[in-house]
Amino acid sequence: MKRVIFITALLLVVTAPFLWGADRIRIGYSSISGSYIGLWVAHDAGLFAKEGLEDQIILIPSGSQLAQVTVAGEVEIGFLNGSSVMAAALKGADIKIIGNTVNKMIFSLYTRPEIKTMEGLKGKKLGVTRFGSSTDISARFALRKHNLQPEKDVAILQMGAMSSIMGGLQGGSIDAGIVSPPTLFAVEKLGFRELLSITDMDLAFPNPSVAVQGGIIRSRPELINRFMRAYARGIHRARTDRELTLRSIAKYSKVDDPFFLQKAYDLYIGKVLEKAPYINMAGMRNALEDVAKTNPAAREAKPEQFIDSRFLENLEKSGLLNELYR
């Protein structure tokens, strides 16, 4: 509770300049990952302003904490993994998914060079950002696929942030870690090795989803429509303005190696990010199955009950996507 109060106070401080603006929009995101390229570029290129929005993008490096902040209405838009949204909704929270920016897990498992196989992880320590996060879900999925039991065979440690996983590998407090581009390229440069590509395992999953509190959906639907248009323009700008996009990736990831920035750009723009935040229902079902491991109520739920698709439908009907990609 103290952490949520602190985050709320922080949000009030950083957004104070916007309090008098009629069209303020606060957007929270939960990790440093190329999955947020569309958001970063839309912000840096002033595309929210073109929709009449005064935007503030805020990093809250925990999906569960961001879910709480989003449910409380302290941010208008929350970018976090879909299972966190579902878990909150099943506990009674008024929150809906309006889109997914990525529909599969984009991670790799990196280890010290002497660990050559998944079996070699037995008795070792594996770092994730936080329990219940996309890194944690990916780690457990990968271990089970190779007949390793999380916690029993491999200790899983919360590191707090992607950069902390890299620091833990360097400092020796963990033997392996789950990282995403562009951080994984920096980890590789330090001499650690990719033991397993979770990206290549094609684990369909809403990571991240775009979530909005129900009260905001009901009272400010046009704000959300304008957000969706700005986000779509951000994705298009990222695809067509490589230099701006590379600067944005470097700015938020703190990775400055041009080679690694280009690799991250090629992966996300070429293979991962779609033209709009479309929802893959197979990924939604996987997320719900993950929630069901700790919440029996999820077994009776349907993915559709967590989705409000009207804003995606409005985006398509607006003709913007046809205009951008004609």
- Give per-residue pLDDT as tens, 245-269: 999 999 999 888 999 999 999 999 9
Question: Quick one: average pLDDT of 189-214?
Answer: 95
**Mean pLDDT value across the chain:** 92
**Residue 27: predicted pLDDT:** 98
Beta bridge partners of 79: 29, 210
Assess whether pLDDT exceeds 80 at residue 164.
yes
Among 190, 191, 115, 106, CA closest to 146: 115
Assess whether pLDDT exceeds 80 at residue 18.
no
Enumerate the domain spans of the chain. Answer: 2-10+19-104+205-324, 108-201
Per-residue pLDDT of 57-97, as tens digits, reads: 999 987 778 999 999 999 999 999 999 999 999 999 999 99
**Residue 7: predicted pLDDT:** 52
Do 2-10+19-104+205-324 and 108-201 agree at the fold level?
Answer: yes
Q: Rounded to 10 degrees, what is the CA torsion of 134, 275, 201, 264?
A: -80
pLDDT tier at 161, thresholds 50, 70, 90 = confident
Give first-to-last CA distance, the chain, whole Å.
Answer: 49
Among 112, 306, 298, CA closest to 209: 306
**Residue 5: predicted pLDDT:** 47
**Residue 65: predicted pLDDT:** 85
Assess whether pLDDT exceeds 90 at residue 15.
no
Assess whether pLDDT exceeds 70 at residue 53.
yes
Q: Which residues of 93-113 are buried (b: 16+ CB within 10 A; e: fewer)?
A: bebbbbbbbbbbbbbbbbbbe
Higher pLDDT: 132 or 187? It is 187
The CA–CA distances, whole Å, from 111 to 36, 41, 115, 143, 249 equal 25, 32, 6, 14, 24
**CB-side neighbour CA atoms (13 Å) of 121:** 30
Q: Is the dihedral of CA 217, 219, 225, 226 positive or negative?
A: negative
pLDDT tier at 11, thresholds 50, 70, 90 = low
**Residue 1: predicted pLDDT:** 52
Per-residue pLDDT of 277-296, as tens digits, reads: 999 999 999 999 999 999 99
**Residue 148: predicted pLDDT:** 98
**Residue 232: predicted pLDDT:** 98
Cα 280 to Cα 315: distance, rounded to the nearest angstrom: 17
* CB neighbours of residue 305 within 10 Å: 11
Q: Which CATH architecture has domain 2-10+19-104+205-324?
A: 3-Layer(aba) Sandwich (3.40)
108-201 homologous superfamily: Periplasmic binding protein-like II (3.40.190.10)
What is the three-class DSSP state of 176? strand
Per-residue pLDDT of 215-248, as tens digits, reads: 999 999 999 999 999 999 999 999 999 999 999 9
**Residue 16: predicted pLDDT:** 44
Among 235, 247, 248, CA closest to 274: 235
**CB-side neighbour CA atoms (13 Å) of 124:** 22
Q: DSSP per residue over 188-208, as a string?
A: HHTT-EEEEESGGGT-B--SS
